[in-house]
Structure 1
Amino acid sequence: MNVIDFQKANCRNCYKCVRSCSVKAIRIKNEQAQIMNEHCILCGHCLEVCPQNAKTFSSDLDRVKSFLRQGQKTVISIAPSYLGVMKYTHPGQVVTALKQLGFKQIRETAEGAAYVTNAYHRILEEGSMKNVISTCCPSVNDLIEKYFPDLTPYMAPVVSPMVAHGMLIKKQLGMNTKVVFLGPCIAKKEEAELDERTSGWIDAVINFSEAEQWMEEEGIEVKALDPSPMDNPDPKVNRLYPVSSGVMTSVVAKNGKDTYRKLFVDGLDNCIDLFRGMANGELEHCFIEANVCEGGCIKGPAISKMEVSRFKAKLDIEEQIEYVSPDYPEAPPEVDLEKQFYSRVEKEKMPTEEEIRSILRKTGKYSREDELDCGACGYGSCREKAIAVFQEKAELGMCLPYAFDKANSMANTVMEQTPNAILVVDQDMRIMEFNKAAEKMFKQSKSVAVEKYLFELIDHTDFLYVYDTHEPIVHKRVAYEDLGIYTTQTLVYVKEQDAVLGIFEDVTEEENNKKKHYQLQVETVEMAQKVIDKQMMVAQEIAGLLGETTAETKVTLTKLRDSILFEGQEE
């Protein structure tokens, strides 16, 4: 299962998601972005920055509705960040609304956090760990296991409040109880369903936006409802877990007597910076609360579009919380809060220096000076991008300066080398483009032509027709007698530029050859007619001569016959 999915039709090669991904867990293949699950830490930043809304995360909402339709006992574990992001007059109204949707119990995840606080307190009190990093944020856990494996010994071996709460509910109400986590985090889905160390305790994960939309569909007006109490004891200070330093505040409230220095960090880049320092041995004997989301869970990726300021949310939560530790007993023995962390680094083949140089050369980078390191592709340097290409995470065309130069080069080549004249005019018929062939054909330089309107050069009627109708004119013969040229024209409307493109093929030579051929035909006909006339005269003369000779011959032969016939009679 992919927690984050894609709508491929909407992915438009902007690479904004790659640029925003600090761990570079996004592959570009066939010009489409793909999440690499083995590298992703599910911080959700790509969801927040995608301008085309091409990325979505899979939803469990239909599964939850199915639990309720089937009449299964279903309990909500609601993250305390609801106090700062959901719309209500009294927090108990949210409880009433969720019960109207059909949930058996509404319990605060902070109830599980109270048991996690106890576990942290014991670890700090023992003091055996060189450093202690909180493990409530599943994205932080993924970050360390996948990118800073040397720090796994510093990770508090404790499950998150969500998992602890799921364990508690199922142990109390029965393993057949369906537990649904309602919160602001998409990484919780992986923790609940895909991590074999913690799966099985949470049956579905939904977010606040989904819950509010569901209530709206059911016609539930939260602010019009009477408030109801939560179905759990007040977790008091443990409700602070969603805000920066909330974990630390809860642990200190439990018992402030420990020797660890306290440090909290939020924001992915800040976490990476801190962990690099820790990997270099810069910190010792520190209790570190880490959260990938800036400001803590109150600005998780699943609520980023609810238009809630994390500063207001923080104040709203803090004002509703009692800063004392609840009088909770230790977790029941059957609720095992331990979780072991380990390296999940993906070993990747690295290119040789020559392989890197070969890839760089393919994008026009033949020397270090050619490496702009502009970061437009999403990688910090051209070398990093070349390595990503080698590892089939990136494509050559992602280099925008290279793609731009290539496109420009190709466009210029076509424009300047084609034997056809190319003109582009705007809605006012002002000339925008005028290539070399056009300069030759119309005997105008480009610098002069682009200062003119088309009608100052040639008849613009056909161009105006195409602009107004968006109907193309194809292979139309047009003569410019004053210029002594004949053309075949194709005119098309270019929507993206709101302009008309005209391609003129010079057929003057062809037309002149046709004229010469026609003239030759006329002259041949005239000559043939003269020959025919002369031949007719000769024929008539021959016929006349033949007629006189025949008559004379006839008289002579008649006389000869008669002399022969009547020769004896005369004697």
Structure 2
Amino acid sequence: MNVIGFKEAKCRNCYKCVRTCEVKAITVKNEQAQIMNDKCILCGHCLEACPQNAKTFISDLDKVKGYLRDNIPTVISIAPAYLGILKYKTPGQVITALMKLGFSMVRETAEGAAFVTEEYEKLLTAGTMNNIITTCCPSVNDLIEIYYPSLTKYMAPVDSPMIAHGKLIRKELGHDVKIVFLGPCIAKKREAESDPRTVGFVDAVINFPEVEQWLKEKNIDIMEQEDTLPHNPDPQVNRLYPISSGVLSSVVTSKKKPDNYRKFYVHGIKNCIELFESMERGEVSGCFIEADICNGGCIKGSAVDRESISRFKVKLDLEEAVPKKPLSDPDFYDRAKGISFHKVFLNRSPKDPLPSEEEINHILSKIGKTKPEDELNCGACGYSSCREKAIAVYQGKAELTMCIPYMHEKAQSMANVVLDTTPNIIILADSELKIVEFSGAAESYFHIPRCKAKEMYLYEIINHTDFLEVLSSHNPIMGKKVEYPEIGLTTLQNIVYVQEQNAVLGIFQDITMEEEKIKQAYKVKVDTIEMAQKVIDKQMLVAQQIAGLLGETTAETKVTLTKLRDTILYDGIEQPKKKTV
């Protein structure tokens, strides 16, 4: 069963969850970071770290509302962390508010913690275990069973307070009642609903933020409620379980006989890992150890807003409010007769294959790491060393492309190839018009080395007016023809604004030859037109000359023919005399 949900569309390949996860229980496949349930200890750090909320807690709230809607008797077991997380004037106001939501009974999980304390006392009195690690925190239990299985022999074989409380309520009220746990921890959901050793005693798990939102929806203000006592005997000092050293305080206060164990607490996943590694080396013995994954204890649990809670203030307030007195009710423990709070812890370590030295080197070589000095061990991928990451690649947990320095170098190399080989002039200038990039073609045309150009401003090389306009307006200038007569260059320019860098990119295409061809073609046209005009003019002149000659010969012909006609008509006849006017 999944406790943390995953939304593929929101995962942006940032590896922040991998960097955050101390046990590397996240696999990256097809650039998607997903949780490996069999390796996850449900510390909740990936939920907190994910900037895109791609990982979310799978809630039981709708299931709980369904119980109440169907009028099923439902008991809520409220973790003692409520005393430091919820806002109230008196703790009884919280009990009243929960009753108004529809719960038939509100009982404190600290009631179950009292029976856990009693079991710890028995272990301390018996003194048969070399070390005793408390087993209240399911994430600590997972950490040991999965990653430090050699230490399971030191785990107190005792149920957590939640399960102990569930067993007690189940005995008293039967199986027709639904039992809901309200607490600050997401790991409780797996313990209650999918661990075969503890399943069946708690039906659903919800957290404090969910209940606060639920109360808000129902217009129930805790601060305005009357004071109501919980439906359980006073568990006294066992209400201190959620703060650092709270378990120790409960055990020491309730202990009737002295023991020889040294006692200390360890909180926070890194501290727990450090301790367990030390214990594996045999450096710790004769100790009773309170262990909790969350810094400051359950009060800073994985399902609460950790930033809004001061563990120091809560610790001081709770220690002041909760008297360190042993249980005074002689009948308190009699109610659990016949209930076993015993739990067996197992070796659940994964059997991942390990690569040989040759296989590790082969994987490293694929990302350009052929020498020890190439292994930066920067941790950007989420793994502490390049070799650790290579092992994860071999095991199918990671991808080669997760190496950010390698991908950056590859991208930079590709960019340099483009800048060096493109025939176009490429110039990138920042918001102050200082040159950021200068392509190989730009070096060739302007006769300025790239290294020197990147120390210059744009206006020192070319007219920067168009670049300044694009920088100001963010509107591109496309297909503008610009000439540089001093170097015999004509360009077709596209200038665009680069929003991500607040810069201006200019791409100039050399069209000098095309322009020369156009000019030559135009000259040929002009020359042809001039030649045609000369031919036309000459033809007109010839035509005029021919017309003149034809006019003269026509007149002469007319005179001659007229004379010939008259000779024929008037042969022997006196021709009429022309009248004189």
Tell me the TM-score normalised to structure 1 length: 0.88
Describe the shift of the 1:373–1:427 C-alpha distance in structure 2 as closer, same or farther (beyond 3 A).
Answer: closer
> Matched residues in 2 for 1:75 and 1:276: separation?
41
Describe the shift of the 1:449–1:284 C-alpha distance in structure 2 as closer, same or farther (beyond 3 A).
Answer: closer
The range that moved more, 518-527 or 267-276, is 518-527
Q: How does 1:423-502 map to 2 (within 5 A)?
A: 423-427=427-431, 429=433, 431-444=435-448, 454=458, 457-460=461-464, 462-481=466-485, 483-502=487-506
SS in 1 for 2:205: strand
CA shift, 1:465, in A, is: 4.9
Structure 2 residue aligned with 1:213: 213
CA shift, 1:73, in A, is: 0.9
* Amino acid corresponding to residue 239 of structure 1 in structure 2: R
Q: How does 1:376-455 map to 2 (within 5 A)?
A: 376-427=380-431, 429=433, 431-444=435-448, 454=458
CA shift, 1:523, in A, is: 4.5
Structure 2 residue aligned with 1:557: none
Structure 2 residue aligned with 1:565: none
SS in 2 for 1:273: helix
Structure 2 residue aligned with 1:564: none
* Amino acid corresponding to residue 134 of structure 1 in structure 2: T
| CA distances 1:58-112 after superposition (whole Å, capped 9, x unpaired) | 1111111111111111111111011111111111111111111111111100000
| CA distances 1:427-462 after superposition (whole Å, capped 9, x unpaired) | 555544333322433455556655666566545554
Tell me the TM-score normalised to structure 2 length: 0.87
What fraction of aligned residue pairs are identical, expressed as a percent? Answer: 59
> Matched residues in 2 for 1:202 and 1:46: separation?
26
Describe the shift of the 1:496–1:288 C-alpha distance in structure 2 as closer, same or farther (beyond 3 A).
Answer: same
Structure 2 residue aligned with 1:511: 515
Residues 209 and 306 of structure 1 are in contact (CA less than 8 Å); yes or no, is this contact kept in structure 2? no
> Matched residues in 2 for 1:139 and 1:509: separation?
73
CA shift, 1:261, in A, is: 2.3
Structure 2 residue aligned with 1:343: 347
The range that moved more, 511-520 or 315-324, is 511-520
The number of equivalent residue pairs is: 546
Q: How does 1:140-539 map to 2 (within 5 A)?
A: 140-255=140-255, 256-305=257-306, 307-326=308-327, 327=329, 328-330=332-334, 332-427=336-431, 429=433, 431-444=435-448, 454=458, 457-460=461-464, 462-481=466-485, 483-523=487-527
| CA distances 1:203-229 after superposition (whole Å, capped 9, x unpaired) | 111111111121112111211221111
| CA distances 1:486-506 after superposition (whole Å, capped 9, x unpaired) | 222222221111222111111
| CA distances 1:34-73 after superposition (whole Å, capped 9, x unpaired) | 1111111001122223333332211111111111111111
Residues 113 and 241 of structure 2 are in contact (CA less than 8 Å); yes or no, is this contact kept in structure 1? yes
The range that moved more, 404-413 or 140-149, is 404-413
Residues 300 and 306 of structure 2 are in contact (CA less than 8 Å); yes or no, is this contact kept in structure 1? no
* Amino acid corresponding to residue 414 of structure 1 in structure 2: V
Describe the shift of the 1:174–1:455 C-alpha distance in structure 2 as closer, same or farther (beyond 3 A).
Answer: same
> Matched residues in 1 for 2:444 and 2:47: separation?
53
Structure 2 residue aligned with 1:138: 138
Residues 83 and 316 of structure 1 are in contact (CA less than 8 Å); yes or no, is this contact kept in structure 2? no
Q: RMSD over aligned Cα, in angstroms?
A: 2.8
CA shift, 1:280, in A, is: 2.0
SS in 1 for 2:308: coil
| CA distances 1:389-413 after superposition (whole Å, capped 9, x unpaired) | 1112112222222122222222222
Residues 77 and 109 of structure 1 are in contact (CA less than 8 Å); yes or no, is this contact kept in structure 2? yes
> Matched residues in 2 for 1:283 and 1:453: separation?
65
The range that moved more, 379-388 or 7-16, is 7-16
> Matched residues in 2 for 1:364 and 1:430: separation?
33
> Matched residues in 1 for 2:162 and 2:540: separation?
117
Describe the shift of the 1:452–1:353 C-alpha distance in structure 2 as closer, same or farther (beyond 3 A).
Answer: closer
Describe the shift of the 1:234–1:458 C-alpha distance in structure 2 as closer, same or farther (beyond 3 A).
Answer: same
* Amino acid corresponding to residue 180 of structure 1 in structure 2: V
Q: Which runs of 5+ in 1 are unaligned?
A: 549-571
* Amino acid corresponding to residue 89 of structure 1 in structure 2: K
* Amino acid corresponding to residue 301 of structure 1 in structure 2: S
* Amino acid corresponding to residue 477 of structure 1 in structure 2: K
The range that moved more, 501-510 or 247-256, is 247-256
> Matched residues in 2 for 1:527 and 1:291: separation?
101
* Amino acid corresponding to residue 67 of structure 2 in structure 1: F
> Matched residues in 2 for 1:295 and 1:431: separation?
52
CA shift, 1:472, in A, is: 3.5
| CA distances 1:463-491 after superposition (whole Å, capped 9, x unpaired) | 45544554444444333445432222222
Residues 115 and 331 of structure 1 are in contact (CA less than 8 Å); yes or no, is this contact kept in structure 2? no
> Matched residues in 1 for 2:198 and 2:307: separation?
29
> Matched residues in 1 for 2:116 and 2:261: separation?
18
> Matched residues in 2 for 1:438 and 1:476: separation?
18
Structure 2 residue aligned with 1:74: 74
CA shift, 1:352, in A, is: 1.5
Residues 48 and 304 of structure 1 are in contact (CA less than 8 Å); yes or no, is this contact kept in structure 2? no
* Amino acid corresponding to residue 189 of structure 2 in structure 1: K
> Matched residues in 2 for 1:260 and 1:433: separation?
68
> Matched residues in 2 for 1:106 and 1:370: separation?
60
* Amino acid corresponding to residue 408 of structure 1 in structure 2: Q
The range that moved more, 444-453 or 185-194, is 444-453
SS in 2 for 1:67: helix
The range that moved more, 356-365 or 297-306, is 297-306
Q: Which runs of 5+ in 2 are unaligned?
A: 554-581
> Matched residues in 1 for 2:347 and 2:514: separation?
76
Residues 107 and 231 of structure 2 are in contact (CA less than 8 Å); yes or no, is this contact kept in structure 1? yes
Q: How does 1:1-80 map to 2 (within 5 A)?
A: 1-80=1-80
CA shift, 1:178, in A, is: 1.2
> Matched residues in 2 for 1:443 and 1:272: separation?
61
CA shift, 1:329, in A, is: 1.6
* Amino acid corresponding to residue 131 of structure 2 in structure 1: N
> Matched residues in 2 for 1:273 and 1:424: separation?
50
> Matched residues in 2 for 1:360 and 1:449: separation?
37
* Amino acid corresponding to residue 410 of structure 1 in structure 2: M
The range that moved more, 461-470 or 265-274, is 461-470
